[in-house]
Amino acid sequence: MTTAMPLLKEREKQVYEKGKGEFNLKCDAKSTAGAVSQRACVFCGSRVVLYPVADAMHLVHGSIGCASYTWDIRGSVSSGPELHRLCFSTDLREHDVIHGGEKKLARSLRELVPLHKPRAVFVYSTCIVGVIGDDVEAVCRKATEDLGIPVIPVQSEGFNGTKKDGYKVACKALATLVGTDNETPVSDISINILGEFNLAGEAWVIEDYYKRMGVEVVSILTGDGRVDKIRKSHRAALNVVQCSGSLTYLAEEMKEKYGIPYIRVSYFGIEDVSKALYDVAGFFQEKNPEVMERTMELVREEVGRIQPQMAQYREKLEGKKAAIYVGGAFKTFSLLKILRTLGVDVVMVGSQTGNKKDYELLESMCDPGTVIVDDSNPMEMSQFVIEKDADLFIGGVKERPMAFKLGVGFCDHNHERKTALAGFEGTLNFAKEVSASALSPVWRFSPRRAGKLRFEGENNE
């Protein structure tokens, strides 16, 4: 595409403006060296998926920087234990790099497990462990025997792919727990919620809907996660997968191994939350038609409650322009729909890890002129925000400073958010945040946007 700022040649095929030429976006590729990708490493990918398991110990085998980089990386609130919020590391030094870190890892496990009494331990391999070739699996096997709890290796050497590969590694680690409890009774009308990380209490909002519908939630992977619940999760009737980029690998494996079907859903926005609940109710229709009746009642009640306030936000936001850049592409579909409901035009949208199918759907949903980007970087995104004159950026922690420097509103839809944005209540919270940020009077002091935002009768000079 043509922009005032020339793109790196290697990046040209990962950027497209709807309506300009044939759509054939390059994606699912390694990041271009020197392009300053927003993507994180394999270790970080596995860490964000496993982190919310609150009664497990998370031991980072590597140099201390990897541990501090991911310490308390997401909100992921817990209704009970908070062991996940402590960050443990073997703190490998030069001596360990030369002589190997296996003994130090075994020693750390022997010391830490009796002290903190976790229900399981996840041991993450980082870059340096891959380089020196520690046999982490063997150390974990021995520790499992000696300590009497699952000590699970997470083969997440940072250089070994992208963040997305970290999701697969995390699913592999979770799969070693799934299927290890065949005793605890589980209802026929039951599900697991996959890909919900309870960043700001969303898992509780969604779990409450299912309770009201009469559906048992066996396990949430991994928000407010518990080892014992994961162990019996293979006996649920259905897997309901959100954030499909991260947990689909586990859903696939559970389908193959235990015959549990799965559906993909989103809990963002009135349309998608309602559809998610109806899809689950539809699955149990034959076994228990009352689930559908209760779901209809729930949706009617919740939509009726938030609709009038959503209409008020729409009045204020009509005609504003937004840019979106998030980790997984699935979230972009819901965000496009919610913003449309609020009268906001999406002028740029992209993701770190979308695949061909995701982008084809995304392109079909966008208006002409919308810029679609894969694996973008701050320089490119800043340029598009300026060229398209966006009023608001929706992204994660890495996009926040960029948005504020450009003088546009920002809504955190990622790790660091403190307000639940899922479910009906979350949709209303989202509208409130978007409105507060995009319409904040502070932007009148932004030199770039001063003219645009000048208030009647005011002089910005």
Residue 420 to residues 50, 202, 291, 345, 448: CA-CA distances in angstroms? 20, 5, 25, 23, 32
The residue range among 16-24, 39-47, 350-358, 402-410 that interacts with ligand SF4, by the rule CB under 6 A, is 39-47
Is 131 or 436 the residue whose CB approaches ligand SF4 more closely? 131
Is 66 or 362 the residue whose CB approaches ligand SF4 more closely? 66
- Token pair 């700022």 is found at 5
Least distance to ligand SF4, CB of residue 54, Å: 23
β-pair partners for 351: 326, 374
Q: Is there binding between residue 247 and ligand SF4 (CB under 6 A)?
A: no
Q: List the one residue from 38, 39, 43, 339 that touches ligand SF4 (CB under 6 A).
A: 43
Q: Is there binding between residue 41 and ligand SF4 (CB under 6 A)?
A: yes
Is 39 or 229 the residue whose CB approaches ligand SF4 more closely? 39
β strands within 311-414, DSSP E:
321-326, 345-351, 371-374, 392-395, 409-412
Q: Is there binding between residue 90 and ligand SF4 (CB under 6 A)?
A: no
Residue 458 has which token pair? 């005011």
Distance, CA of 390 to CA of 408 (rounded, Å): 7
Least distance to ligand SF4, CB of residue 66, Å: 3
Is 43 or 88 the residue whose CB approaches ligand SF4 more closely? 43
Give me the numbers of helices (H) and strands (E) for the chain, helices first please: 18, 14
Q: Angle at Cα 447 formed by Cα 444 and Cα 451, nearest 5°? A: 60
3-state secondary structure of 380: helix
Least distance to ligand SF4, CB of residue 447, Å: 36
Is 154 or 292 the residue whose CB approaches ligand SF4 more closely? 154
What is the size of the binding site for ligand SF4 (CB under 6 A)? 9
Give φ, ψ of 150 to 5 degrees: -65, 125
Going by C-alpha positions, the residue among 172, 230, 203, 266 that lies closest to residue 53 is 230
Q: Is there binding between residue 127 and ligand SF4 (CB under 6 A)?
A: yes
Distance, CA of 327 to CA of 353 (rounded, Å): 6
The residue range among 41-49, 50-58, 331-339, 357-365 that interacts with ligand SF4, by the rule CB under 6 A, is 41-49
Distance, CA of 11 to CA of 13 (rounded, Å): 6
Site for ligand SF4 in 185-224 (CB under 6 A): none
The residue range among 61-69, 243-251, 356-364, 399-407 that interacts with ligand SF4, by the rule CB under 6 A, is 61-69
Distance, CA of 420 to CA of 432 (rounded, Å): 12
Q: Is there binding between residue 126 and ligand SF4 (CB under 6 A)?
A: yes
Q: At what angle do helices 270-283 and 423-438 cross, to 10 degrees?
A: 170
Least distance to ligand SF4, CB of residue 169, Å: 12
319's CB contacts (< 8 A; 6+ apart) are 343, 345
Least distance to ligand SF4, CB of residue 125, Å: 8
Q: Is there binding between residue 71 and ligand SF4 (CB under 6 A)?
A: no
Is 81 or 161 the residue whose CB approaches ligand SF4 more closely? 161
Least distance to ligand SF4, CB of residue 152, Å: 18
Q: Angle at Cα 53 formed by Cα 50 and Cα 54, nearest 5°? A: 140
Least distance to ligand SF4, CB of residue 153, Å: 15
The residue range among 62-70, 78-86, 324-332, 336-344 that interacts with ligand SF4, by the rule CB under 6 A, is 62-70
The residue range among 36-44, 72-80, 360-368, 403-411 that interacts with ligand SF4, by the rule CB under 6 A, is 36-44
Q: DSSP labels for 112-170?
A: HHHHH--SEEEEEE-HHHHHHT--HHHHHHHHHHHHSS-EEEE---TTSS-HHHHHHHH
Q: Is there binding between residue 66 and ligand SF4 (CB under 6 A)?
A: yes
Which residue number is nearest to ligand SF4 in terms of Cβ? 158
Q: List the one residue from 69, 204, 258, 404 that touches ligand SF4 (CB under 6 A).
A: 69
Distance, CA of 384 to CA of 377 (rounded, Å): 11
Least distance to ligand SF4, CB of residue 42, Å: 7
Q: Parallel, antiparallel, or unpaired: how do β-strands 15-17 and 371-374 relate? A: antiparallel
Site string for ligand SF4, 143-182 (x = CB under 6 A): ---------------x------------------------
Q: Which residues are near ligand SF4 by CB under 6 A?
A: 41, 43-44, 62, 66, 69, 126-127, 158
